[in-house]
Every structure is written in structure tokens, then in C-alpha cells.
Amino acid sequence: MSTPDRPHLVPGPDHPIDITASGTRVVVAAGDTTIADSTNALRLQEASYPPVHYLPPDSANWEVLRRTDTHTYCPYKGEASYYSVQTADGIVEDAVWTYEDPFPEVAQIARHLAFYPDRVTITAQ
């Protein structure tokens, strides 16, 4: 439900969101630690932003993920929750986000994991 301070906007011609199968293998790592590896990733293209890969939860190495208290809100997708990554070299803070219960217009990404490319290495092969 939207409120004045948390609107729910619907993707459209002025702000399109396109979600498709990536068609590639996507591997996410922090140093020598593999965080996720999937051939079933989704590719989300939102307006003019760079595309983002969303990997299914069963592709994640949950042993290295640590849930944080961080939450953000997108008026087109809903509320995101965050995870940090534990590596041999330390913790990569809030490197992963997920929409556990996204708005219906982007329901395909529910519980899938997305990653900040400036905090981890994302390879699409």
C-alpha cells in the first residue's frame, strides 16, 4: 500500500521496466569468494539505468551472506532488504539487495538477489 511519503508508481512509457531471462551464466564474487552462480538470472532494465542481473535465491552461497538492518524503497519496485558478504578478507557491507515482496508489476524478481557492481565482481558469460 502506498502512502504520501512512499508512493507506488507503475512502470510505463515514461519509466519503463523490462524483465527478461538473461540468457547467460552470471557469476558474482567478492575476491576469491563466490557469492552466486546461475544460468537462470533475470535481467532488469529500468528506464535509462544500467541493466541489473537478479539471481534466484537457490543460486546463492548463503553461508557468506549476512542480513543487515538496511532497507531502501523504490516507488516502482517496493522495499528492498540488504545483505553483506563475509569473505576471508573481511565484510563487504550491503553488497546485495533483494525485494522479498515487490510490487505486482515486477513480481518476477521476488526474493532474487541483485549486487552492487562497485562492491563485487559480476561476470556474465
- The owner of cell 537462470 is 40
Q: Which portions of the chain are predicted below pLDDT 70? A: 1-4
Q: What is the pLDDT of residue 109?
A: 98
At the top level of CATH, the class of 17-124 is: mainly beta
Residues 6+ positions from 10 with CB-CB distance below 8 Å: 76, 105
Q: Is 28 exposed, middle or buried (0-12, 13-18, 19+ CB in 10 A)?
A: buried
3-class DSSP assignment, residue 124 = strand
Q: What is the pLDDT of residue 80?
A: 98
Q: What is the pLDDT of residue 81?
A: 98
